[in-house]
Structure 1
Amino acid sequence: MIKATLHHLVIGGRRYINRLIHIPLPTLVTGADHISDATELLHRHKFNNVMVVSDPQLIKLNLVQPLLDSLKQTQISYSLFDQVTPDPTIAVVEQGCELYRNESCDAIIAFGGGSVIDCAKAIGASITKNKPINKLAGLFKVRKKLPYFIAIPTTAGTGSEATLVAVITDATARKKFTVIDPCLVPNVALLDPALMKGLPANITAETGIDALTHAIESYIGCHAYPLTKQYAISAMSKIFNFLPVAYANGNNEQARAEMAIASFYAGAAFTRTSVGYVHAIAHQLGGVYHVPHGLANAIVLPHVLHFSLTNAATKLAQLAKILHMVDMDCNEQLAANTFVKRVEQLLETLNIPKHLPQLQQADINMLAERAIKEAYCDYPVPRLMNEAQCRDILQNLLTTHS
């Protein structure tokens, strides 16, 4: 009872603090084959030595080359840092900082998925504060303008191009930590659906459900308010309508464009309201087993929704009605259950697995303890979860339950 009271007091206080903090939205550039807009913006603002942050796979696929060619044509010097790994580590961030300093860069372009954008944010923050990134973990420890920053996402899911968060992995401790500060929001988000046409179907599915998770947890959390609810509803509407299309036909440019906007809206929602237990658990699975974040979210999501139903039924029912899953006069419990069922049906359509082969029985106590600790007094969840309840959810993810 004391823990619950403390949690609600802290969350209640943060709800009002959140309203007072100005979180900028990046300048939004949309449209296919608009990569040259990035270099035009750099040229307009008189930046002439940019660091391009990406990953080896995107280099191998030759997706970054049009950007590099455009920089050359505009006579903007660049240094390419293409060593970003999934779940970027402290060491990777330090490598990027070293290149930025050695080459005297004056701006950053992140070209890639959430890991790339988060790594670029972390490099910018570490450079700005002249501190190791792990020393900036937590809330509002940067508080200084980053170098001019353009984010070009190549997946539609993390919403990192719209958020004030960077998630970094401490490889030694086998856990993730977050750096949270409004100055981490990029100056520009360039959404080009043409870049996403080549995404494999499973990556399309997992990143799309990542965005859906952001929108749902933002909406049902205690920090939601009219603007964030509208962002979340817009994202969910697009995801339910267009994610199955993008999954079935990756070359459908309209579906890719709609999913890119959905990811942006979901990012704008949760960066103002925070997330919940789906993320708390998924972060542990990613930190310990390197499970891709979108996949971890997708597997955990229905379990947390069922757990939250007792307290979140009103909001889940609202979503079912707003998204035309049920009639407006449908009773609350049936509408809420229908929403959860529609999420489960979407996961089945996308062939999301129900179990994690990496998960070890011996780790469940540790994972549950870490997840509950991460969420406590930080995530504005509709219903508090204890370690035993978290262990039950993790137990259901074991392959032995298949």
Structure 2
Amino acid sequence: MTAIDNPITIHQPQQLEVGTGAAARLGAWAAGARRPLVIAGEHTAGYVDALELPGQVTVFADIPPEPDTTALDRAIAVARDCRPDLVVGLGGGSVMDIAKLVAALWDGEQTLRDVAGPNRVQGRRTTLAQVATTAGTGSEAGIRALVTDPETKSKIAVESPFLLADFAVLDPVLTYSVPPAVTAANGIDAMAHCVEAFTNIKAHDLIDGYARMGMSLIGKYLPRAVADGQDTEARAGMILASYYGGICLGPVNTAAGHALAYPLGTRLGLPHGLSNAIIFPHVLAYNVPVRLEKSREIANALGLDFDDSPESLLASAHAFCRDLGVEMRLAKHGAREQDLPGWAEEAHGIRRLMDNNPRDMTVGDALEIYRAAL
């Protein structure tokens, strides 16, 4: 089979509202709700009023940047107390992932362990809306949720169509307050979603189309969004690119880049976007020998200097990220040389992602990438 005739399934939210002021449309859509529960983060709870929700609204705003099972348990406890008829995720990927799991688990017998893996959620009993306040993860578009096991420091992944939003909002105004460095890291994370799907062994022509649109928007708008956080056109371009990246994750998913990024989040406590931004140039360059034509397209979308050598793409992509204000040195984030071998083993063991990479990556290869990023 060629990529174009491979079977593929795409899930998208039932209703998507896009553009300036789109957040206010949620209230009208949810007019019948009596007990909405808003899952938010410390910095996103202030947007609750913009949603114009009806009924008696409960807000749970204690979701950390890298939520673990303890945070999920607290959120589920709040849900069982207020018994929501609508769950709203208001934030970035971590918040929206917790909202998915709360909507699926609060009113049933299944636990997180019961639903870990693909297609094990028995059915969602609560309506789910997702309102993105960052442009990075694209979680509002997808059917996956990730939460950290505090004992093993590994990610527990849940995948199910029952985690899909009934209503999703992409309102660029809600991303105005994201600081420049975070905007940059999140934007590179969105780029990584598009690139890793685009170069994936499961790549499909349909998904390639979304990836190309996402990469083009990021190349055009990310520098502008970093330079001026209230550039509405740039913010709109980025939040749409993030959504496209989220679509790419569904049927194709990411690969070695995200596998290498996960230990940085769980071991160093780095935000997901930053972890992926640090790793992105290294895996992009690593895959050049087996994805030359697509590497050229990626370089063109980002305006990178690329002479068909991995070295040139690494240098140019690294400079692109650094010049956006991302601190690219792991040592500056607390990493130590002695940490790296364990992280390499851990990343190499994330086979659900590593097996998607177009070029086989050994533990030694992973270690060399970490060392280059140190």
TM-score (norm 1): 0.85
Q: Which residue of 2 aligns with 1:349?
A: 323
C-alpha distance in 2 between matches for 1:191 and 1:32: 8
Q: Deviations over 1:3-42 (max 9, x none)?
A: xxxxxxxxx9xx9999354523442101212322111111
Task: List aligned pairs for 1:93-242, cutoff 5 A.
Answer: 93-127=72-106, 129-242=108-221
Q: Deviations over 1:266-313 (max 9, x none)?
A: 110122201011100111111111111111111111111121111111
Q: Which residue of 2 aligns with 1:254?
A: 233
Residue 244 of structure 2 corresponds to residue 304 of structure 1 = no
Q: Which residue of 1 aligns with 2:24?
A: 36
* 1:80 corresponds to which of 59, 62, 67: 59
* 1:56 corresponds to which of 42, 63, 82: 42
Given that 1:118 and 1:165 are in contact with CA atoms closer than 8 Å, whether structure 2 keeps it comes out as yes
Given that 1:276 and 1:375 are in contact with CA atoms closer than 8 Å, whether structure 2 keeps it comes out as no
Cα offset, 1:186, TM superposition? 1.1
Task: List aligned pairs for 1:278-317, cutoff 5 A.
Answer: 278-317=257-296
Structure 1 pair 36–184 and aligned structure 2 pair: CA distance change class (3 A)? same
Structure 1 pair 227–335 and aligned structure 2 pair: CA distance change class (3 A)? farther
Task: List aligned pairs for 1:345-384, cutoff 5 A.
Answer: 345-357=319-331, 358-375=334-351, 379-384=355-360
Q: Deviations over 1:247-274 (max 9, x none)?
A: 0011101100111100001110122201
Cα offset, 1:108, TM superposition? 0.6
C-alpha distance in 1 between matches for 2:340 and 2:100: 32
Given that 1:129 and 1:142 are in contact with CA atoms closer than 8 Å, whether structure 2 keeps it comes out as no
Q: Which has the larger radius of gyration?
A: 1
Q: Deviations over 1:173-206 (max 9, x none)?
A: 2222211112212112101111111111011101
Cα offset, 1:233, TM superposition? 0.5
Given that 1:319 and 1:339 are in contact with CA atoms closer than 8 Å, whether structure 2 keeps it comes out as no
Structure 1 pair 115–340 and aligned structure 2 pair: CA distance change class (3 A)? same
2:57 partner SS: strand
Q: Which has the higher helix share?
A: 1
Residue 353 of structure 2 corresponds to residue 386 of structure 1 = no
| Paired letter, 1:334 | D
Structure 1 pair 338–364 and aligned structure 2 pair: CA distance change class (3 A)? closer
List gaps (5 residues or longer) in structure 2.
none
C-alpha distance in 1 between matches for 2:272 and 2:328: 15
C-alpha distance in 2 between matches for 1:253 and 1:181: 33
Given that 2:23 and 2:170 are in contact with CA atoms closer than 8 Å, whether structure 1 keeps it comes out as no
Q: Which residue of 2 aligns with 1:329?
A: none
C-alpha distance in 1 between matches for 2:216 and 2:233: 15
Given that 2:107 and 2:125 are in contact with CA atoms closer than 8 Å, whether structure 1 keeps it comes out as yes
2:134 partner SS: coil
Cα offset, 1:324, TM superposition? 9.0
RMSD: 2.5
| Paired letter, 2:344 | A
1:48 partner SS: coil
